[in-house]
Structure 1
Amino acid sequence: MNGSVAYILMGFPRVSETFIASEIHRVERAGVPLRLFVIKPVEAREQGHDHPVLDAIVARPEYLPDPVGLTKPLHRWRWSDVRAFVPALRRCARRRPHGVARATRTAFAQAWRDRRTPLSGPRKIYVKELVQAVTLADRLLAAPDVRHLHAHFAHGTTTITWLAACIAGLPFSFTGHARDIYAPELNPKGWLQRKLDAAAFAVTCTEANVAHLRRIAPSARVHLVYHGLSADFTRLLEQERPRPQTNGTLRVLGVGRLVAKKGFDTLVDACAELRERGIPFEAAIVGQDDKDGAALRAHIERHGVPVALPGPVGPAELLDEYRRAGALCMPSRLLPNDRDGIPNVLVEAMAAGAPVVASNVSGIPELVQHEVNGLLVPPDDPAALADALVRLHHDRALARRLTDNGRATVRERFDGERLAQDLAALFREAIER
């Protein structure tokens, strides 16, 4: 293959984004040489990986200078804040003056367009991202093998990638996921449409997202590529592992970050319903603490229900949780500026043989077919969720049929290796143009 693809990532590796690590590994296995450029250090809460796929990735991450000094208001920037970025600016201005001028015009036009009030100055965020883009472009100009850029998430990472592509004279693409394509404040004043029109193509992970992006930019090339089952889970499922013991009690499992869109407060309410109905149960929500974690803990305390919050676990421990579960619950809801696509945990749970109950929102019905491979319930309806849980607990034949069909769905439509081949084909086409 004549050339490589540069993945541009805001932080890497992140606990909540192991699907990106899996994708990178599989695209490499599909024969596409990659480089990894990381924009800023990973936050403390996103550290602590125990995912073997990271060791299997050939490309080593290259980290750009820490932009912490650029987060201050523009008028408070000092030489110490920008010093690390100045050499790259000088080199790019010398080597690619027209590209720097083009990127500057693009960034400042949006900074002016998105100012707070008619009397305000240009927004600083775009100036900051322009500085970071220059630094990225400088690295790209030192890597002549790079022929195409690809960003994950459609807001800041794609802005920096687009501006760097302008400077370096390279095509770019990006993957849009959830909040990054639905929250207007992340791409205000038509910014997402401009990105879609400027990109060689965009990728997203649900048919619902594809329709949404095509409404924004009808002429854009938007491709559907599901995430698929992760490489680590695929490897674990291929191993002979003893099945964890269960005690016959209904075990209710939720998996995900503690954020409002996951609907875990509805799961807690459903557990309160189970208690009122006299159904013996155990419940746990496994996942990384986040902005709504305190509110969820308070909600659990108010109800006085036994819902454990053990935090994040590694893939092997998570597989055991799925295998112990009487049901994996994903009671997602649509928020005005955020939503799930197809939560990866649903694919994992189905592959592991856990019956799934999920809300019928966003891209979830593209994976979960009601009464075929899972049960769908309305969002924010704890009684309906409790009904589904009781039904699975009492009707073991139904649970077995749903899990058998769930495994078949993952094999047939969410095979990560095959889906990575689809993405690799898009990269090859972009490089060979």
Structure 2
Amino acid sequence: MKKVSRNEILKRIREAGIVGAGGAGFPTHVKYDANVEFVVANGAECEPLIRVDRLTMQNHPREIVLGMQYAMKATGASRGIIGLKAKYKDAIAALEEQIRLQQVSDSISLFKMDDFYPAGDEFILIREVLGRTIPEYGLPRDVGAVVSNVSTLVDVTRAVENKQPVITRKVTVGGAVNSPATFEVPVGTPYETLIRAAGNPTVENARLIVGGPMMGALSPDFSGVVTKTTTSLLILPETNPVILRRLTDKKRQLHLTRSACLKCMLCSELCPRNALGHELYPDRIMRSVAAGVSEDLKAYTGAYLCSECGLCATFACVMNLDPCAMNVELKKHLWDAGIKRPSVPRPTEARVFGDLRHVPVKRLVARLGLTPYDGPAVLKDFTEPMKTVTIPLRQHIGVPAVACVKAGDTVTAGQLIGAAPEDKLGANVHSSVAGRILEVTSQAVTIELI
């Protein structure tokens, strides 16, 4: 571990454009500007079929353990805990060896979790690892912790030790493709190129989920690009339940809710946030929707507590209804009406037997019709040729980076092409390849490889 000050660590993290690699993309230099007791590394791989975290822990244990030490120094934490699933035997062995070699067993340890969904939700992770409950509308720092994805810790080590910016991303390409695999690719790589590297779809009328099967987004086509937060490209037949759920018309879902909800409460009983003691009751929201949403929208602010994990829709409801979708719609109505998410955390206590509500990943995979695709997706070299990359200037929570290059410029891999405004929440963006700038817009920079 290099001898660097707390301020220097934060500075190098900011300069490298590091954001939360687990999906949200919150700028890491802002997250680490805190004083906490614990840094918790998230290696639980929340979504089914994704293999990025597991492979990162197997292949980069040194950087993860070092990154944990830098994160602890930045935040003042005295303990670092890496949360991962007990079934990740190779990753556990690799990390334990590094903890021994770096002689940090007195401050850094592993916490081995059962294989359930959504183990990687930071609220659930903190409850499992620390035994503490993050309050409603709260953050991990409210219970003395900062959570970082294991890939983020690798980025932190590279930034602090080598001043290396974030220009690549590991992505699992899975589902109905000929050769499911995980690749480390330049940020801005076209989806089509990555899917081609995995052998192309094996089914006609294939659809693409960007992210995991539970919380990922249905893409209208294959035309997007990889960002710092892209974890997975999942190809599925259009008849798969994962796809059908996202294609269901909202009005039809509302009509089904009004006519078919049994008021059985299973959606609330299996809700992970409800198990933490949060006042989120999807069954009550469903009954309210069935009766017709009242004009007093403040009564529905509990919808803001929903993490949109999707368990209520995909596993709990025996009538194939979608309470999660109702929560999403209510959030939009609340926001449009000027009713914002409450800003004051409200402490809660986890419910008795809440840990008995865990849903095994294998059962969830079977329910989603994904068992045929639940393979290893091993790490492979990315050798697929491509002509251009398109790098978005906003790959994070906050305002877009401001382009600092122009069309015709020649850039090198790692060169700054978008700077975060000094006084606003944001992150720097760097060129992931050596090439020539073809186009610069307020949204993205397109680079031709040379």
TM-score, normalised relative to structure 2:
0.26
TM-score, normalised relative to structure 1:
0.26
- Structure with bigger strand share is 2
Q: Between the two structures, name the one with larger relative contact order (CA 8 Å, sep ≥ 6).
A: 2
- Structure with bigger helix share is 1
